[in-house]
Chains A and B, each alone.
Chain A
Amino acid sequence: MKKGKLSAKTKKLIIKIIAVVLVALIGTAAALVVKDRKTDFNSAQKYSVAMNTVITQKIYADVPGVHIEPVRAIINSLDGYISCKDSESVLSRLNSEGTLNDILIAEALKTCLEVSEKSGGAFDVSMGKLSESWAIGTENARVPSDEEISELLSQCGYEKITLDGSKITVAEGVSVDLGAVGKGIACDYIMTYLKSKTDIKGAVVSVGGSILTYGQHNKAGDEWNVGIRHPRNENEYLGIIHMTEGFVSTSGDYERYFEQDGVRYHHILDGNTGRPSDSGLISVTVVCDSGILSDALSTACLVLGAEKAEALLNEYGAAGVFVDKDMNITVVGDIDFEY
């Protein structure tokens, strides 16, 4: 072998080293790309209280903090608009005067009345006085007498609410309560705001458990993971919904309730009996493309029971997760639910 000249074997080994280093570099570069795609965008998170519940917002944007207050403002202004507990609200004006010309409330009622009709009155926003009488979730919670329930039921009924464009009329004595859909309405308005801001890459907002997911949280477009609270153990998840953009709402017998003589009285009233629903379902989660609809459908389904609820969800093309008293879980529609 001549001095200064490498043998064929040595050349082969050098090529091998170069190949290993190249593979390592390519591997690292690939990992860098994957990591970059999997890393969440810059975000801001805020917890606050409004609409008598907890608001959680996480917004992904270059300067996410600037969107926190506008979202909170939307919720606060809606609260003053559709709250039936605020005597100064627009909805209270409808309840006291019997008539109102308002496009926001008329649009909301249009959706509500449709769900009422399709659920055979299981969902009914005309039960304001009945809800007030039960007062569940307040220190004055009680079980009204049969006579009282019967009397109050006579003042309820979604068919007593009429719409003519933006003009709303309610029969005398009827009190409209949008509490069951208020959080979903808020989610709809927040979604409109988020979509109008081109710098927002993604967001997840919870208004008291009514949720919207928007856009992406990383470049890879990984799905949002929405946990469903276990109906009998607050510190556990029932499961996790993997989803892209949409709305999620859960209704359960565990949110607000009181117990008397060993009986649990929860806050979701059956429009046909005037009493807390007793359909066999204790938790219903609905996923669909509208906040108000996910709220209304989850309430309606809890009242209807599994069989009719499934038919209702199918009618709307919505998906859902039902939990019955024996903790049996039923998954309805096109939904990626891990449990």
Chain B
Amino acid sequence: MSTDKKLTKTLKKGDLFIIVTVIAITLVWFLAPFSGREDNLKLVIYLDGEAVETAQLSTLTEGKSFYVGGCEIYADSEGVKFVSSVCSDSLCVKRGTMTRAGDTMACVPERVVVSLKGGSSTHIETY
């Protein structure tokens, strides 16, 4: 095989390698921030506007109760909910389980806010 032919063969493989590698790296790097995986949900509990508890939902496989203000908040890998509150209306308990990134719920009388953070398709919610 002549030198030119060898070079041609090597360069064709090289072309392909460069193209595929560059495209793959660019795509992965570019799309990563937009993937928004729901299994990366982070629970944040606020009291009077200050974050007092945080947890990665995926790590709470056996479930965990948090006691903040006069509220008991239960979280597991599936979601988070108010279990009880000393407030008079218990609207927070009636709210049920929250599972989506970007969701918030609160016990207004106790000034406790629970938020799920992570990849979300919305910036905010009207209700």
Contacts and interface: CB of A to CB of B under 8 A. Distances in A.
B48 A226 contact: no
Given A47-B113, A139-B88, A206 B124 contact: yes
A234 B108 contact: no
Interface residues of A, number: 53
Nearest to A298: B126
A255 interface: yes
A49 interface: yes
A187 to B, nearest CB: 11
Given A49-B113, A139-B89, A227 B11 contact: no
A224 interface: yes
Contacts of A17: 11, 14-15, 18
A256 B95 CA distance: 11
B19 interface: yes
Given A9-B4, A58-B123, A249-B126, A48 B48 contact: yes
Contact of A31 (B30, B111, B112): B30
Instruction: For chain B, give the interface size range.
Output: 35 or more
Nearest to B8: A13
B15 A20 contact: yes
Contacts of B34: 38
Given A35-B30, A48-B46, 20 more contacts: A9-B8, A20-B18, A28-B26, A48-B48, A49-B48, A52-B108, A54-B106, A137-B89, A138-B89, A139-B88, A224-B123, A225-B121, A226-B122, A226-B124, A227-B122, A228-B126, A229-B127, A234-B96, A237-B122, A240-B121
A-B complex: 4 closest residue pairs judged by Cβ atoms: A48-B49, A227-B122, A229-B127, A24-B22
